[in-house]
Amino acid sequence: MAPSTARHLISLDDLRDEDLHHIVARGAAFSSRTAVPDNPLAGSVAGIYFAKTSTRTRTAFSAGTQRLGGSIVTYGPGDLQLNTGETSEDTGRVFARMLDVLVARTAGDPEEMRAWARQDRMSVINAMSADEHPTQALTDLTTLLGHFGRIEGLRILYLGEGNNTAAALALALSRYRGVEFELRTPPGYGLAAPVRESARRHAARSGAVLREEHTMEGLPEGFDVIYTTRWQTTGTTKPDPDWREIFAPFQVDGALWEGSPKAAFMHDLPAHRGEEVTADVLDGPMSIAFQQAENKMHSAMAVLEWCRADNRP
């Protein structure tokens, strides 16, 4: 395998605006079947390493790699010599000499992935870390573009924890002109300050609007999208034993459509009906959550294609 200059996706803040917009547009083109991949990963091998559970993201990148002509090697949490004391740095050095792409979910500190990305042979893709879920936001924007035909000017309401999905959405949506992204997060469970500050810098430059409040009082109307996530984020616990009572007012139910009757409903899944969302919303006509889930694969293909552009073996 000849050395190359690899592209990485650890955080959405690593992407230029034009790269972000290109990946989203390409994912939407794959989803609508207006673009057909020409095997850009032919001869390439992707490592799929998930230290935490995954249904959609793991399947998306596994299927996406193969649909782009590549092959995969999969690793679970007990498969690597990390469990016998090998350093993460040595593991990354070995990966880079055998793989073309590493898709990794650690749900921990993203610095481990950044260490693996300090080479120019193997692309590293963050399939979720504790602070950010960048490929989820790319999926979500792919879904918005396919459903509405645009992202600019959309009004999006997010209800629930300011978790890694919310962080990625804030970092992505704030880079589209005229978007209004309203977050209603429970007290003590908002966006991390560095994410909020970065998103507001993007918004000031693009003309987007980012708002976050910790109450359901005074909620505006006329949203295009209502979005929520599972209250118990994968790989995390909550310090407050009464957290369900704090989260209860932020449940998505049919009453929200009285003020936003044309809104689409989105959820990154898995969902717990009766907790963060009622069944009539998730399974109802306003829901595009399962199209959103399918778009995980189309967006993964766009990310993989972008990472390996001009690096074919």
Distance of CA 243 to the CA centre of its chain: 24
Q: Band of the pLDDT at 237, cuts 50, 70, 90?
A: confident
Structural domains of the chain ordered from first start: 12-132+297-307 (3.40.50.1370), 134-293 (3.40.50.1370)
pLDDT at 130 over 50: yes
Cα four-point dihedral sign 10, 11, 16, 22: positive
| 268-to-45, 56, 136, 282, 303 alpha-carbon distances in Å | 27, 9, 7, 11, 18
User: Could you read off the pLDDT of 164-213 as tens digits, one per residue?
Assistant: 999 999 999 999 999 999 999 999 999 999 999 999 999 999 999 999 99
pLDDT at 313 over 80: no
Classify burial at 162, counting beta carbons within 10 Å of its beta carbon; exposed 0-12, middle 13-18, buried 19 or more. Answer: buried
pLDDT at 67 over 60: yes
H-state helical runs in 149-189: 164-173
- pLDDT above 70 covers what percent of the chain? 96
User: Could you read off the pLDDT of 29-65 as tens digits, one per residue?
Assistant: 999 999 988 899 999 999 999 999 999 999 999 999 9
Beta-carbon-side half-sphere exposure of residue 311 (alpha carbons within 13 Å): 25
Under a CB-based contact definition with an 8 Å cutoff, are residues 102 and 123 in contact?
yes
DSSP 41: T
pTM of the model: 0.95
User: Could you read off the pLDDT of 244-275 as tens digits, one per residue?
Assistant: 999 999 999 999 999 999 999 999 999 999 99
Q: Token pair for residue 86?
A: 């090998």
